[in-house]
Amino acid sequence: MVMPHPVTLTFDNGPEPGVTEFVLETLAARGIPATFFLIGRKLATPYGLALAERARAAGHLIGNHTFFHQTPLGEATDDAAAQEILATQDLLGDLAPEKLFRPYGNGGVLGPHLLSQSARDLLVVGGFTCVVWNALPRDYTDTQGWPETALGQITAHRAAGVPSVLVLHDIPTGAMQHLPAFLDCLLATDVRFTQEFPDETVLVRAGLPSALCDRYVAAKPESSAFG
């Protein structure tokens, strides 16, 4: 028996008025649960908080996607990295008891720039679950063609028996106008939408670093002989 292919649908870089509402309505109409990874500086606005509350009330999970979303934590100072995580988590409060965190990749790149040693330690001590992705159709640059790319990535995962963790962006690029048709296309195949994050994309789970984690942590800078 062939099992339905698991797809974890995630939306990064919101909340964004004028876009997040449409995404929420599109998901609600299809009964699809998702996870929204929010940027702290956007959450620190009345509309941002209201959108986050609306998403949570609709059954979506809310995650932390840094405060400024400008410098990968592996390239930030220890203090700045701690602020990026903790200030956003403070704002999220009861909206995000799962303590999900997704690092900023700077164009979706996976590598050791994602975390610093101290950011990793902070996520471990804080009991966070830190997740990345394995399907990135670049909807933020390919605003028209991304659905085809995403369907191709998911088909490849299905063939390989790997669950899909898809990243889309609820930001005003126009890309999300294709979300309804994309989801309907996926729903016509044998998929199961889930809010679970498979081991393939988890760097830290509830404070426990995975075997993948070190691959995404920057080497400690050598103390320089030149000061």
Rule CB under 5 A: which residues touch Zn ion? 12-13
Q: How far is the CB of 169 from Zn ion (least distance, A)?
A: 7
Q: Which is nearer to Zn ion, 11 or 193 (CB)?
A: 11
Q: Count other Cβ atoms within 10 Å, centred on residue 196.
A: 11
Half-sphere exposure of 200 (CA within 13 A, CB side): 15
Q: How far is the CB of 203 from Zn ion (least distance, A)?
A: 16
Name the residue whose CB lies closest to Zn ion: 12
Q: How far is the CB of 219 from Zn ion (least distance, A)?
A: 23
Q: Which is nearer to Zn ion, 13 or 35 (CB)?
A: 13
Cα–Cα–Cα angle for 111, 84, 207, rounded to 5 degrees: 70
Q: Which is nearer to Zn ion, 103 or 163 (CB)?
A: 103
Pairing of strands 100-101, 191-194: unpaired
Q: What is the DSSP letter of 14?
A: E
Amino acid at 26: T
Distances (CA, A) of 86 to 68, 92, 142, 218: 12, 10, 32, 20
Q: Which is nearer to Zn ion, 12 or 139 (CB)?
A: 12
Q: How far is the CB of 142 from Zn ion (least distance, A)?
A: 16
Q: Which is nearer to Zn ion, 130 or 191 (CB)?
A: 130
d(CA 59, CA 195): 10
Joined together, the tokens standing for residue 66 give 């840094």
Q: How far is the CB of 1 from Zn ion (least distance, A)?
A: 37
What is the Cα 203 distance to its own chain's centre?
13
d(CA 203, CA 212): 6
